[in-house]
Amino acid sequence: MSVRNLPPVYNKIAQHAVFPEMNHDERARYNFLANLNKHLAHVSTGNKVAFENRVEPKFEKEHGRKIASTEELKQAISKDAHYQVWSSLRRSTMEMRQQAGRSIVLRQAAELRDKVKALNEGKDSLILDESVKVPPYLLACDNHIMPGSYHTELIEDDVTPAANYDTGLFVTTAGLLGRYSDGGGKAIVSWVRKTYPDFNPKRILDIGCGMGHNVLPIAKAFPNAEVIGIDTGAPMLRYANARAVDLGITNVKFMQMDAAKTTFEDESFDWVQSTMFFHETGGKSIYKIMDEVYRVLKPGGLTLHIEQPQYTDDMSLFEKFIRDWDALYNNEPYWSKMHDIEPVDLMKSSGFREEDFMQIGAKAENDLDDGSQKADEPEDHGRSPIWNVFGAIKN
Amino acid sequence: MEEKIDYIKLASNKPKGKRPYFHDDPAVERVLNITMAVAGELAVMRERMDSIERLLEKKGVVTREDIETFVPETKEQEEQRQTWHAEYIGRVLRIVQQEQEELENPDKSLEEIANDINEM
């Protein structure tokens, strides 16, 4: 076994008909960036050392007391040379990943649009609605520092935001979500099958589906179910539908809709799912969305939400601070606020009962895992494929 | 809507949301970003050379002298090479372009946006 924990080479990523064409150097650029991400995940453990050996003692000497809040910790650590260079390199790496992805997809924007169009032609599984507005929380800043975010169209019927997302997820996660970046969807399918072997959903809703990478394993696992993915980003939905068509998944529809105000009937779904979605919403919208989840879910129906790990009382200030790094510096701002909400309270506010609430841990299923992913790999905060899943059965 | 887009410039656009700086002097950040981009391109070139060397070794068709004396032979080749340089420079000097975009369209800080979003 290799002592090095190397990311998979980029050419291991799964291809499909609308996957952007990539040349040799573009793959090489992504190989460099995946390795740089891995490297920085290891270097990030140095932040803790710098904090404990340098930042904390200095603060205590100057103030005669311990650091009392993450805000004080942030002020103190921001002057530390190791933290400065690590943060600077990490931000730079993320910007380079966006630049690399966009330079691949924008040069072939029209070709990608035409390929997607050809696959979507005559299909009733893509339902766009121009009257759907992009929610203000997505317009406030570009999430994941993706210029133009999920919705901006540079050409008519643009799909490049989704194509860029599709190429890059493999790089930022160092391939840990598998060849189709669907490790989250696969993990939830396995858990549901194991926990509820008799569960036979007829209608499934995935909210904030993006390019559909996590809803496809669900649709595949329940081929007799009608599966619907909703999102507000038209470029994402066009691409998602074409991708699903090419991958031969026929029981999934993609509809342009705001999860806070869907047009579905009351009690019309057996399962409502979201994957890494809520932390990209907003402080008031999150309650409206959960109300909507409750409304459309049938009695006895299941809802599950894969999210970032919650902060716990026994977590150190440093741990909380470093987990927030991506929130502020990789533009996922609501993540820095959402940890103040207890998932159980969020669900109770919409009508779910406390005794029906559940919270589990899930790890991405990775079809590339050859045993080289070590358990003692340092956690790359915000990139780690280990999540908190919360949900409930509606009663 | 335009069908032809300046993909080189667009690929290096800044994302919305004020860019954080971690070093006391932003000049350090700027130079570090440029250096990392160059480091990336050197890695890309190293991988390309590795591909070429392995293929040459396998097929034995090109000599070192062929490479040393090669110059573009058609207008198309000339353009391809110059386009590569333009893309390369756009990539390496991305942060300079993004700082200009920030000057033209100043953004709120992410802390402010987090507070705004908490009200949305």
Residue A376 confidence (pLDDT): 46
User: What pLDDT, in 10s, does the model give residues A176-203?
Assistant: 899 999 999 999 999 999 999 999 999 9
Q: Chain B contacts of A33, Cβ < 8 Å?
A: 40
In the block, which residue shows the tokens 């909400």?
A341
- To the nearest whole number, what is the mean pLDDT of chain A? 92
Q: Chain A contacts of B118, Cβ < 8 Å?
A: 282-284, 334, 337
Asked if the model's pLDDT at residue A309 lies above 50, the reply is: yes
Nearest to A307 by CA among A270, A344, A271: A344
Tell me what the mean pLDDT of segment B3-19 comes to: 91
**How many CB pairs below 8 A link A and B?**
166
In a domain, B5, yes or no: no
Higher per-residue confidence, B52 vs A211: A211
Residue B118 confidence (pLDDT): 92
In the block, which residue shows the tokens 């999934």?
A252
Q: Chain A contacts of B114, Cβ < 8 Å?
A: 327-328, 333-334, 336-337
User: Encoding tokens for residue A309?
Assistant: 């790990």
Number of domains present in the structure of chain B: 1
Q: Which of B7, B40, B117 sits opposite A140 (nearest CB)?
A: B117
Which of the four pLDDT bands, split at 50, 70 and 90, describes residue A1? very low
Residue A229 confidence (pLDDT): 98
Which of the four pLDDT bands, split at 50, 70 and 90, describes residue B69? confident
DSSP states along A305-321: EEEPPPP-TTS-HHHHH
Residue A43 confidence (pLDDT): 75
**Range in A77-91, A251-265, A380-394 the model is least confident about:** A380-394
**How far is B69 from chain A, CA to nearest CA, in Å?**
23
In a domain, B52, yes or no: yes
Q: Chain B contacts of A84, Cβ < 8 Å?
A: 22-24
The angle subtended at Cα A92 by Cα A90 and Cα A94, nearest 5°, is 70
Burial of B65 (0-12, 13-18, 19+ CB in 10 A): exposed
CB-CB under 8 Å, B51 with A329: no
Q: In chain A, where are the structural domains located?
A: 6-394
Residue A10 confidence (pLDDT): 94
CB-CB under 8 Å, B17 with A145: yes
Residue A375 confidence (pLDDT): 43
User: What pLDDT, in 10s, does the model give residues B25-43?
Assistant: 999 999 999 999 999 999 9
Task: Write phi, then psi, for A266 (nearest 5 degrees).
Answer: -60, 145
In a domain, B84, yes or no: yes
Residue A40: partners with Cβ closer than 8 Å, 6 or more residues away: A86, A89, A90, A93, A380
User: What pLDDT, in 10s, does the model give residues A279-295?
Assistant: 999 999 999 999 999 99
Q: What is the pTM of this model?
A: 0.89
Q: Chain B contacts of A106, Cβ < 8 Å?
A: 5, 7, 10-11
**How far is A165 from chain B, CA to nearest CA, in Å?**
14
What pairs with residue A273 in β-bridges?
A: A206, A304
Residue A369 confidence (pLDDT): 66
Which CATH code is given to the segment(s) A6-394?
3.40.50.150
Q: What percentage of chain A carries pLDDT values higher than 70?
A: 95
ipTM of model? 0.79
Asked if the model's pLDDT at residue B96 lies above 50, the reply is: yes
CB-CB under 8 Å, A33 with B91: no
Q: Which of A25, A88, A135 sits opposite B23 (nearest CB)?
A: A88
List the A203-207 sheet strands across, edge first: A126-127, A252-256, A226-231, A203-207, A269-275, A297-307, A386-393, A357-363
Which of the four pLDDT bands, split at 50, 70 and 90, describes residue B103? confident
In contact, A86 and B32? CB cutoff 8 Å? no
